Structure 1
Amino acid sequence: MPPSPLVSTAWLADHLGDPGIVVFDTTKYLPNEPKDGLGEFRAAHIPGARFFDIDDVADPETDLPHMVPTPGRFAAKMAALGVSNASFCVFYDQKGLSSAARGWWMMGLFGHDAAAILDGGLPKWRAEGRPTAEGDPAPATPATFRPDWRPTRVRGVGDILANLATGAELVLDARAAARFRAQAPEPRAGMRAGHIPGSANLPYTELLAPDQTLLPPDQLRARLAAAGVDGSRPVVTSCGTGVTATILTLAMTLAGLPAGAVYDGSWTEWGGRPDTPVET
C-alpha cells in the first residue's frame, strides 16, 4: 500500500475493486451550505464507495457535533461498514478536500494506519472523466474491527484551558482568517466570534492548490513555519468542529513534522460556552 497518507486519482483508478480496498465518501456540509452529503453521494459517487457519515460515527450522547465516539462504538460502526483490521481505507469528499481528512484521522486515532485521502477528491476524479455511480451502495459484508485507542492524539476543553496557563502547546486554528479575527459570523447560530487566546491561524484553504490537491511538502512546510509550526513545540489543531483541523494535521504529517493532536470540540465547544476566554 502507498507509504503516504495521500493517494492520487490514478492510483485509486488502478486499484478500485482490489480486495481489501474500502473507499469512503466522507462529505459533511456546513449548516449554511444548502446541500446534504448523503443526497449528493446518491447522485454521484466513485463506483463501489460507501458513505462515511461523521455524524453517525460519533458520540451520540453529546450535543456537540460529530465528537469522537468510544472505541467500542467506533469498532461497531467500522465492522458494519465492512472495515476490518486488514482493510485499506481511502477517504474522499465532494468538495475536493474539506472533511475527508476527518475520516483518515479517526482511523489513526483508533490505531488503524492503513488509510489515505484521495488527493483532489471527487472534483478531480470527475474532471478527469472517470466514472461515477448513482444510488445507494451494495450492503457491506460485516467485518471484525479491533480498535487500538491512541488518546494522546485528541484534546478536550480541559486540556485547552490548562494550556492557557502553560503555553506548552501551540493551538493552530484552521478557520478562515475573518472568522478567527471575529470579522465574519460563525456558520452556527449562537456562537461567539473570535479565537482561543494565544492561538495562531492557518486557514486550511491556504494549503490547497487551485485543483483542491495538497501543496507539495516543501510549500506545506513553509506555510506551517510562517504560522509558527517548526517542530519545536507540540501543536493542537482546531477549527469549527474538529473537521478541517485534521487537514492541518495531515499537512504536518506530509511536511515531516510531528502531527500533534486535534481539539475535538474546537470552536463550537469553546465559542459556545460562556466561561471560556475569547480573543478577537
Structure 2
Amino acid sequence: MNLNPIISAKWLFENLENPNLVILDASPRENKSNLIPEFTNIKIEGAHYFDMEGVFLDKENAIPNMIPNERVFEEECRKLGINNDSLIVVYDNLGIYTSPRVWWLFKVMGHAEITVLDGGLSAWKKEYYPTESIAKNEIFSGNFTAKYHADLVADAITLLENIDSKKMLVVDARSQERFGGLIPEPRENMLSGHIPNSINLPFEKVLNNGKMKPEKELKKIFKNLNIENQPLAFTCGSGITACIILLASELILENKKVLYDGSWAEWGQLGKFPVAK
C-alpha cells in the first residue's frame, strides 16, 4: 500500500479490519509548548502506547529525545506487535504534535508503511469512533527488523560545516521569540538564539486547530521561504516539533530532507557552537 504521510479519522475507521494494521498512541506525558490535551484518559480502541519519553530514545545520551539504538528500537517494536509488513497509524492527544516524530523514526529505521492521523485523538473522538480506557501494553512478539538510514539524520558537525558551505537550508520550528533569542530557553543553561544562516518556521504555522493545513496553504507557506530545490535540515528544541514541519514539507516538496536530531538542546549548550540572534 502506498500510504499518504497523513490520513483522516474516516480512513482509519474504514481500515480497522486490516489484519496488518497497528495503531500507535504517541501522546506525550508533558510538552515544552504548554499544550493541553482535550482527552487524557482514553485511547483509540486497540492502540498500543509508543513511549518516546521512556523507551524509544537513547537513554545513555544527555541530550533529550535522541534516536535509540537500532537494536533497541527493533526489540521494543516487536513487543508492540509490529511486523515488517505492518501498516502503522500513529496519533497523539494534542492533534499533531509528537506523532510526526514517530513517523520520522520509523522512516529512519527503514519502515515506509507508516502514516499520521490528522487531528489525532480529538479528530477520532469527535467522529464518535471507538475508544477505550488506557491500560498497560500487552507484550507481543512481532518480527519487525530495523535498518537505520543515516541519510535522514544530520549531526552537529554537519550543521556546523553547513554554516559556511550553505549546502542545506536549516529550518527551525521553534517560536519566533525563541528563534530570535528574545526569551529564555525552557531548558536550563542554554543560550538563546538560533543556528547562523537558519530560517524560522514555527510549527504552529503549518497547523490549523490540531490538523495539518491543506496542501495549497502549505505550498504558499514554503514558497514564501524561498526554499526552491535545495536540501533542507529541520531543527527545533529537541527534535520533536521539527518533525511537524518536516512532515508538512513531505506532503508538497521533493527536496532532500534531514532532521538535526540534537536540535537546540545540543546546539544551545553554553560555549559549544556559534549562536545568532
Regarding TM over 0.5, the answer is: yes
- 1:46 Cα deviation from its structure 2 partner: 0.7
**Kept in 1: contact 2:35–2:94 (CA 8 A):** no
* Aligned position for 1:204: 203
Alignment pair present for 1:22 and 2:22: yes
AA at the equivalent of 2:177:
A
Q: Using the TM superposition, give the Cα deviation of residue 171 of structure 1 relative to its aligned residue in structure 2, in angstroms.
A: 0.5
Q: Give how far 1:182 is off.
A: 1.4
Instruction: Tell me if structure 1 keeps the 8 A contact 2:185–2:192.
Output: yes
Structure 1 Cα separation of the partners of residues 256 and 45 of structure 2: 32
**Residue of 231, 235, 238 corresponding to 2:235:** 238
Between the aligned partners of 1:208 and 1:2, the Cα distance in structure 2 is: 24
SS at match of 1:90: strand
CA distance in 2, matches of 1:270, 1:242: 12
Match of 2:244 among 230, 243, 247: 247
Partner of 1:229: 227
Give, in angstroms, the shift of residue 147 of structure 1. 1.4
TM-score by length of 1: 0.92
* RMSD, aligned α-carbons: 1.9
Shift of 1:185: 2.5
In structure 2, the CA distance between the partners of 1:152 and 1:226, relative to structure 1 (3 Å rule), is same
Displacement after TM superposition at 1:70 (Å): 1.9
C-alpha separation in 1, matches of 2:34 and 2:273? 28
Give the 5 Å matches for 1:35-184. 43-55=41-53, 56-137=55-136, 139-184=138-183
Displacement of 1:163: 0.8
SS in 1 for 2:208: coil
Structure 1 alignment gaps of length 5 or more: none
User: Distance in 1 between the 2:75 and 2:96 partners?
Assistant: 26
Q: Structure 1 residue runs of 4+, over 3 Å off? A: 31-35
Partners of 1:185 and 1:45 lie apart in 2 by: 35
For residue 8 of structure 2, what is the aligned residue in structure 1?
8
Question: What is aligned with 1:270?
Answer: 267
Q: Does the CA-based 8 Å contact 2:230-2:256 persist in structure 1?
A: no
Q: In terms of mean alpha carbon deviation, does 97-106 or 118-127 score higher?
A: 118-127
Range moving further from structure 2, 156-165 or 26-35: 26-35
Q: Provide the C-alpha distance between the structure 2 equivalents of 1:34 and 1:207, rounded to a whole number of angstroms.
A: 16
Aligned partner of 1:215 in structure 2 is 213
Tell me if the contact between 2:3 and 2:113 (Cα under 8 Å) persists in the aligned partners: no
Given the two structures, how large is their TM-score scaled by the length of structure 2? 0.93
Residue 165 of structure 1 deviates from its aligned partner by 1.7
Cα separation, partners in 2 of 1:259 and 1:27, compared to 1, 3 Å = farther
Query: CA 1:137–1:9 in structure 2 vs 1: closer, same or farther (change >3 Å)?
Result: farther
Q: CA deviation at 1:132?
A: 1.8
Q: Distance in 2 between matches of 1:168 and 1:258?
A: 12
Q: Are the aligned partners of 1:186 and 1:193 in contact in 2 as well (CA < 8 Å)?
A: yes
Residue ranges of structure 2 left out of the alignment (5+ in a row): none
What is the one-letter code of the residue matched to 2:114?
Answer: A
Change (3 A) 1:273 1:90: farther
Residue 193 of structure 2: aligned partner: 194
Alpha-carbon separation, structure 1, partners of 2:169 and 2:221: 15
Shift of 1:220: 0.9
- Deviation string for 1:41-68 (max 9, x for gaps)? 5x11111111111121111211111101
* Pair 259,138 (structure 1): closer, same or farther in 2 beyond 3 Å: same
